[in-house]
Amino acid sequence: MKLLIVEDELKTAEYLQKGLAEQGCAVDVAHNGIDGQHLALVHDYDVIVLDAMLPGIDGFTLLRALRAVKQTPVIMLTARDSIEDRVRGLHDGADDYLVKPFSFLELLARLQALQRRGRAQEPAQLKIANLQIDLIARKAWRGAERIDLSAKEFALLAVLARHQGEILSKTAIAELVWDMNFDSNTNVVEVAIKRLRAKVDNAFAPKLLHTIRGMGYVMEARADEEPAP
């Protein structure tokens, strides 16, 4: 994925560039609106991450100038969670927005969602190592053994499996599974993951549901956790 980051705050730009490059993206960085506009218009990016407050040309102006020429997907970064900024950004043609302070994981998730957009229909079956999930029949197996899950447990498993290899924060999980669209200060997700893990992972190998401390959870088959003998 080829990305352009337009962000005047140097430290932010630096960690975004580093993090996204490590995720396999080709990242260009502009530190002001004028350079940003030039790069955005000259090159074809998959996604542009655009700060709203910029020296030179502000983000909204840049966005309008860009939209006059092309439809590159844009994620706006705004400092204030104000309705006006949001409406203005979306009205001017932003595809998504993030409010500072945002987490890197959240940005990654939004980028992946933008990339997935317009992709072919999801498969009806998901398979991770020996975990098999039938999204239509809403059933899951570990090897040959059927796993008995409640509706919400299945929904949680499906969300994790759909995003396999992606780290999902607790907030993202609460949103995707329960439609709880806010930073909740509860340990509900931890408990739910613990219970799901007891059913899906505890009695089986390899372990698929991993906790990334401080960040969230990821479902993936890891090379160093090959089936125990």
Give me the residues that bind other proteins (CB under 8 A), please.
Answer: 81-83, 101, 103, 152, 174, 178-188, 191-192, 195, 213-215
In the complex, what is the shortest distance from the CB of residue 195 to other proteins, in angstroms, rounded to a whole number?
6
Query: Per this entry, what is the length of the chain?
Result: 229
Please answer whether residues 140 and 133 qualify as being in contact, where contact means their C-beta atoms are separated by less than 8 angstroms.
yes
Contact by Cβ (8 Å): 124, 135: yes
2/152 with CB nearer other proteins: 152
If we measure between CA atoms, which residue out of 160, 136, 141 comes closest to residue 219? 160
Residues 216 and 190: beta-carbon distance below 8 Å: no
CB of 109 to other proteins, least distance (A): 16
Distance CA 176, CA 157 (A): 11
CB of 150 to other proteins, least distance (A): 8
R_g of the chain, CA atoms, integer Å: 20
Looking at beta carbons only, is 72 or 169 nearer to other proteins? 169
**Which tokens is 82 given?**
């104000």
Nearer Cβ to other proteins (66/219): 219
44 vs 81, beta carbon nearer other proteins: 81
CB of 159 to other proteins, least distance (A): 14
In the complex, the smallest distance separating the C-beta of residue 133 from other proteins, rounded to whole angstroms, is: 20
Nearer to other proteins, 95 or 153 (CB): 153
Q: How far apart are CA 188 and CA 209, in angstroms?
A: 17
